[in-house]
A and B are shown apart, each in its own frame.
Chain A
Amino acid sequence: MSRGKGGTGDGTGHVPAELLDRYAAGTADADAGTADVLWAVEVHLESCAACRDRLAGAVARRSPQTSLLLEQVRDGLVAEVTRSPRMPPRRRWLPGTGRLSGWAAWRVTPALLPRLGMTVLVVLVAVGLDLADGADAGRYPSLVLLLAPVAPLAAVAAAWSRGLDPAHELVVASPRAGLDLVLRRTAAVLAVVIPALGAAGWLVGVSPARWLLPCLAFTVGALALGEVVGLHRAASGLALGWAAVVVGPSLVTARPPVLLAAASLPGWAAATAAVAVVVVVRRRAYTELESLR
């Protein structure tokens, strides 16, 4: 046998059979001379399945007490395991309560679901009005197009709001609190709203290219403004502003708004980038008390 360092722990060799026998029988402890070798044996055994297997053989041959002990424990375990409760696997729905648990609870607050439903309904109504108007030679600009930029805001507002999330104070106190969680929830909102808008746009013939960037700009803009005045206020303010400045005038004048023309898209892209920078720079604001309004 080589020395302990060559024969045991370095991964190239395994524990010599004779040493394993003495280790199993418990006679290797007697002399201090092998202390370092035994340490190496124990470290090696922790990572080497083959040597553990050989150790099992050595135990069976050399140490009747240990074998007896293993039998006893095994018999005890069989009885215990049969009647022992196990940790339940992770579930997304808690049975019976209809409540979300696990990862879903981090992304969907109770207030988010009704607001998402409301958003989808509003989009449906807009589709209906557009189709009715289209049959009438299309006097008004598409309502779906006008609503699309602010459609996610109602649900985004509920992503980080003390009033709308019953668990908000718990969530804020958790290590995950902050921009990361706000973004997860916003992504969950967009994952529902954007496909809905896409389907609606397809029905009334509005290309996503015209509303997708404004929609993102408003969503990120709400997150940026939310860092200053609170997400709920920011979202409401932006939606009202859009309704007053763009939706109202275009319905009155029956002309599509300049802001949603193809020529304004670079402007929307620049605005999205700018507010995204603001969101990241001021990201700590979501864990401060100011953001809870």
Chain B
Amino acid sequence: MDEEELVRLVARGDRAAFEELYRRTSPWLAVRLRRRCGDDELVAEVMQDTYLAVWRAAAAFAGAGVGGSAVGWLWTIAARRLVDALRRRARDARPPPTALPVAVAPAAEDEVLQATVGDPVGEALRRLAPELRQVLRAMVLDGLTVRETSVLLGVPEGTVKTRARRARIALREALS
């Protein structure tokens, strides 16, 4: 039984299916959210919101009949909730905590990898400045808008736009 089937069962009020969905997807969602937000308390809040939304609105997914991926749907909800939570927190005049990189030495394997010639996109991506890469990740991988990205990263919208443009230019140069 796949996740889409589980969501359809949840839409009919099946508690066991909901728990199974949680068991299967929550580790993935937690890891992915924790990479984007350093505050575990906030991540827990976002996850709770997300799964409650799934429980309440599963019928909207099942009824939509879009044939989309249930996991992708889950991530869309979670990403929006994360941005909402950060927005609330910003209103409460606390600086949004961003993920703090853990300082560890790169694995030997990666150093070897780095030395080998990779694909041009990956190479360009690796060479990108971290703040540009963060913007690209939020906008390309997580599908957020400029405004949502600015909330997530805690920088002004204009900065997000500038960084996105610089990242695009850098990637285009690397590919040409």
Contacts and interface: CB of A to CB of B under 8 A. Distances in A.
B15 A81 contact: yes
Given A45-B28, A87-B56, A29 B102 contact: yes
Contact of A35 (B43, B44, B128): B128
Contacts of B18: 81
Contacts of A73: 26, 30, 44, 47-48, 51
Interface stretch (B80-88, B106-114, B152-160): B106-114
Given A34-B110, A39-B141, A74-B22, A86 B27 contact: no
Contacts of A46: 69, 71-72, 75
Given A5-B122, A56-B27, A66-B34, A30 B47 contact: no
Interface string B15-48: 1001000111111101110110000100110011
B48 A42 contact: no
Contacts, number: 152
A33 B28 contact: no
Given A5-B119, A52-B24, A87-B60, A72 B44 contact: yes
Interface string A81-106: 10011111110000000000000000
Interface string A221-262: 000000000000000000000000000000000000000000
B interface residue count range (under 10 / 10 to 19 / 20 to 34 / 35 or more): 35 or more
B176 interface: no
Interface of B: 2-3, 11-13, 15, 18, 22-28, 30-32, 34-35, 40, 43-44, 47-48, 51-52, 55-60, 63, 69, 71-72, 75, 99, 101-107, 109-111, 113-114, 116, 118-119, 121-123, 125-126, 128, 130, 133, 137, 141
A32 interface: yes
A26 B125 contact: no
A70 B29 CA distance: 10
B110 A39 contact: no
A175 interface: no
B48 A36 contact: no
Contacts of A3: 113, 116, 118-119, 122
B52 A80 contact: yes
Chain A interface extent, by class: 35 or more
B5 to A, nearest CB: 11
**Interface SS majority for chain B:** helix
Nearest to B102: A30
Which has the most chain A C-beta neighbours within 10 Å: B18, B52, B123? Answer: B52
Contact of A30 (B104, B121, B122): B104
A33 to B, nearest CB: 5
Contact of B130 (A23, A32, A76): A32
Contacts of A59: 27, 30-31
Contacts of A207: none
